[in-house]
Amino acid sequence: MDAALEKRQVKRAYKIYAPAYDFVFDWIFHPGRVQAIRLLDIKGGEQILEVGIGTGLNLPLYPANCRITGIDLSEEMLEKAQDKVVELGLNNITLKAMDATVMDFGDGEFDAAVATYTISAVPDPVAVLREMRRVVKPGGNIVLLNHFRSERRVVGRLEDLVSPVCTRLGWKSNLPLEPLLDQVGLIPDLSAKVNLFNGWRLIKCLNPK
């Protein structure tokens, strides 16, 4: 599928999801979110990047003594996130509409970066991870929380079969983890299964120096 077309499909899908996203997804995915933010090991004054911040469900989980920059391709989702910023009275949050494959940030601008339930929802996950590596300081934490293709043959094959439908809904059901990390030169420092039925993977990597 043409990358530009797929990007438009993702934006269209999340424009539809935005009004009901929190209601549908918050309770299912909340345990993983909590663990992902904890794994960032945030220190006071650090600059943290959240890729695919969506409606801002992670915002209440961050400590107040750091700066959070959240980016997302969907302006509708970012509007919901901005409502949360105002509602929670947060003054350490910056939200930007941005394509994560071509981030408008300098090299090593952030101390750490996180992407929760995002990597399988972008047209080019390799490009996104390469950009995350570029904008995070060497030695900084990169945390990913996502569903990846099952290592079990039958389940993995089923995920392959439903992949065309899932892609049209805005996410990939069969994104393999190991080849993805290999392509961008990331080695997991920690890997754990989280959430309902352990269906999602929490990955922490140190950005190579």
- Predicted confidence (pLDDT) per residue in 113-123, tens digit: 999 999 988 88
| Mean pLDDT, the chain, whole residue set | 84
The percentage of the chain sitting over the pLDDT mark of 70, rounded to a whole number, equals 74
Residue type, 153: R
Residue-range domains of the chain with CATH: 3-206 (3.40.50.150)
70-94 pLDDT, tens digit per residue, is: 999 989 889 999 999 999 999 999 9
DSSP 3-state of 209: coil
- Cβ(158)–Cβ(147) under 8 Å? no
- Give the pLDDT of residue 60: 94
Assign 176 a pLDDT band (cuts: 50, 70, 90): confident
Lowest mean pLDDT across 125-129, 152-156, 195-199: 152-156
Residue 193 has pLDDT above 50, yes or no: yes
- Give the pLDDT of residue 112: 98
Residue 11, judged by CB atoms within 10 A of its CB (0-12, 13-18, 19+), counts as middle
Lowest mean pLDDT across 41-50, 89-98, 140-149, 185-194: 140-149
More confident site: 175 or 126: 126
The pTM assigned to this predicted structure is 0.83
Report the alpha-carbon distance of residue 123 to residue 127 in Å, rounded: 9
CA distances to 64, 169, 182 from 77, rounded to whole Å, are 22, 16, 31
Assign 8 a pLDDT band (cuts: 50, 70, 90): low
- Give the pLDDT of residue 18: 47
- Give the pLDDT of residue 2: 41
26-52 pLDDT, tens digit per residue, is: 667 889 999 999 999 999 999 999 999
- Give the pLDDT of residue 158: 63
